[in-house]
């Protein structure tokens, strides 16, 4: 488990953030908030994809009125995103939202900020101080010459000071930048100065795959350093992709229990008996619909597949026109090649329902024997398809020549 920096704990509705709470996932709706049904549909989709919290824009009176209907029907806590007009923050609080996001770059009047903080305090609603490099206060831009990490952190601390002056302490902070190194440095600097929970994100990351890569680079770097309490992938895409990506990242880092599919596949080689990419793609599409919290392996051949992927909960490997279905490296069924994906889906469902031990006990007694015979046949037919013996000999030659101080021949 990654050791995390100890931060204060606060509650966004019934979701804890900070302290020893699990790192939470956030996303944001893209619908018009006034369209209550469309917005709720997206909120439910985001929750199903792994979002613990959902942020919704509150940019006019009609949006605030929409929140009044959305909040009581939402499956997850709602955070109102506020820009420019502090009265919309007060309206969102009246609508019942469980969190606010204020941008110091466009709500600059100190008294307005304090008015919102007093009302939020009375209602027990936390506030995120959401600094963004793209909307940084002009005075700070002039002082620092650019949206530097120091400028972002200074902006956050000024806003935090206003909140603290009225006794408000349920604060989260973000200092987002579209430049990954600047984003990472901003959060590192901020983490040294405060113990408030931090909301991580690379702003304006763009569409996948670039947006995903940038987001993972920034967010994962900080999480691996123990920095961060809640995250959002800001993608130019369906927000459901944000929630899925955020959830998957936390699962891969071991920061959240796996709830979704983790599919691994071999890169293919000279032994591959099937189109690994095709089988893996079809298996992933089928299994993702089931939302099974398991690790699945798709391997190109039965010679090495089950052994290499023995840590996977379940997998399938090809060999001589057959699919060899294995659980924790043990072959339990052999099926026709054209039934590989269907058999994998069927066994995965049973595995999720019955558990690994029960499915191993139900294994076909002849499956392991058939797999062993197939491995022998393939090695005899293909020979050393990966040229392992040749490559090992070459490596030994290079190592021995190096130890004698001579360069290997070419």
Going residue by residue through the chain, which has 410 residues, state the pLDDT in tens, using 9 for 90 and above: 678 999 999 999 999 999 999 999 999 999 999 999 899 999 998 998 889 999 999 999 999 999 999 998 899 999 999 999 999 999 999 999 999 999 998 998 999 999 999 999 999 999 999 999 999 989 999 999 999 999 999 999 999 999 999 999 999 999 999 999 999 999 999 999 999 999 999 999 999 999 999 999 999 999 999 999 999 999 999 999 999 999 999 999 999 987 778 887 876 666 666 788 888 899 989 988 887 888 888 888 777 677 767 778 998 888 778 888 999 989 999 999 889 999 999 999 999 899 999 999 999 888 888 888 887 887 777 666 556 677 668 777 865 775 555 554 54
What CATH number is given to the structural domain containing 337?
3.30.413.10
Give the helix/strand (H/E) hosting 25: strand 24-28
Q: Are 60 and 32 contained in the same domain? A: yes
Burial zone of 171 (CB within 10 Å; 0-12 exposed, 13-18 middle, 19+ buried): buried
Which candidate, 6, 60, 69, 59, places its Cα nearest to that of 36? 69
In a domain, residue 406? The reply is no
In a domain, residue 241? The reply is yes
Reduced to 3 states (helix: H, G, I; strand: E, B; else coil), residue 130 is strand
Total tally of structural domains belonging to the chain = 2
In a domain, residue 399? The reply is no
Cα–Cα distance, 301 to 86 (Å, whole number): 62
Within its chain, how far is the Cα of 210 from the centroid? 15
Query: DSSP letter string over 278-337?
Result: HHHHHHHHHHHHHT---EEEEES-TTTHHHHTTTSSEEEEEETTEEEEEETTEEEEEEEG
Give the helix/strand (H/E) hosting 248: helix 239-252
Q: Are 118 and 230 contained in the same domain? A: yes
> In 209-269, at which residue ranges do the beta strands (DSSP E only) sit?
230-232, 262-265
In a domain, residue 390? The reply is no
In a domain, residue 408? The reply is no
- Spatial strand order of the sheet with 230-232 comes to 171-176, 127-132, 99-102, 78-82, 53-57, 24-28, 230-232, 199-200
Range of the structural domain that residue 211 is part of: 10-252
């Amino acid at each position: 488990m990654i050791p995390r920096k100890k931060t204060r704990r606060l509650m966004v509705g019934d979701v804890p953030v900070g302290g020893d709470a699990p790192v939470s996932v956030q996303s944001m709706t893209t619908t018009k908030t006034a369209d209550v049904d469309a917005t709720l549909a997206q909120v439910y989709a985001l929750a199903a994809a792994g979002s613990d919290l959902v942020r919704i824009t509150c940019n006019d009176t009609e949006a605030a009125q929409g929140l009044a209907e959305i909040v009581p029907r939402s499956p997850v806590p709602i955070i109102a995103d506020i820009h420019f007009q502090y009265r919309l923050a007060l309206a969102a609080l009246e609508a019942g939202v469980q969190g606010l996001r204020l941008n110091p770059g466009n709500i600059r009047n100190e008294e307005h900020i304090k008015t919102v903080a007093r009302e939020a305090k009375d209602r027990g609603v936390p506030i995120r101080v959401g600094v963004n490099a793209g909307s940084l206060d002009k005075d700070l831009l002039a002082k620092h010459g650019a949206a530097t990490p120091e400028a972002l952190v200074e902006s956050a601390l000024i806003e935090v000071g206003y909140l603290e002056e009225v006794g408000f302490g349920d604060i989260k902070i973000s200092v987002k930048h579209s430049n990954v190194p600047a984003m990472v440095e901003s959060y590192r600097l901020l983490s040294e100065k405060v113990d408030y929970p931090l909301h991580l994100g690379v702003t304006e990351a763009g569409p996948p795959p670039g947006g995903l890569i940038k987001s993972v680079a920034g967010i994962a770097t900080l999480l691996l350093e123990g920095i961060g309490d809640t995250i959002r992938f800001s993608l130019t895409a369906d927000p459901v992709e944000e929630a899925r990506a955020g959830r998957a990242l936390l699962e891969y880092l071991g920061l959240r229990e796996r709830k979704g599919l983790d599919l691994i596949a071999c890169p293919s080689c000279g032994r591959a008996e099937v189109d690994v990419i095709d089988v893996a793609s079809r298996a992933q599409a089928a299994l993702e619909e089931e939302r099974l919290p398991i690790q699945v392996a798709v391997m190109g051949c039965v010679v090495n597949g089950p052994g290499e992927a023995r840590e996977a909960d379940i997998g399938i490997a090809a060999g001589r026109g057959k699919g060899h279905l294995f659980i924790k490296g043990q072959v339990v069924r052999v099926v026709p090649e054209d039934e590989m994906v269907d058999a994998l889906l069927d066994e995965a469902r049973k595995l999720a329902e019955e558990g690994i031990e029960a499915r191993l006990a139900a294994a076909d007694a002849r499956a392991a024997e058939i797999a062993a015979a197939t491995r022998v046949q393939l090695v005899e037919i293909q020979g050393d398809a990966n040229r392992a013996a040749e490559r090992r000999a070459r490596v030994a030659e290079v190592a021995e020549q190096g130890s004698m101080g001579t360069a290997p021949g070419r």
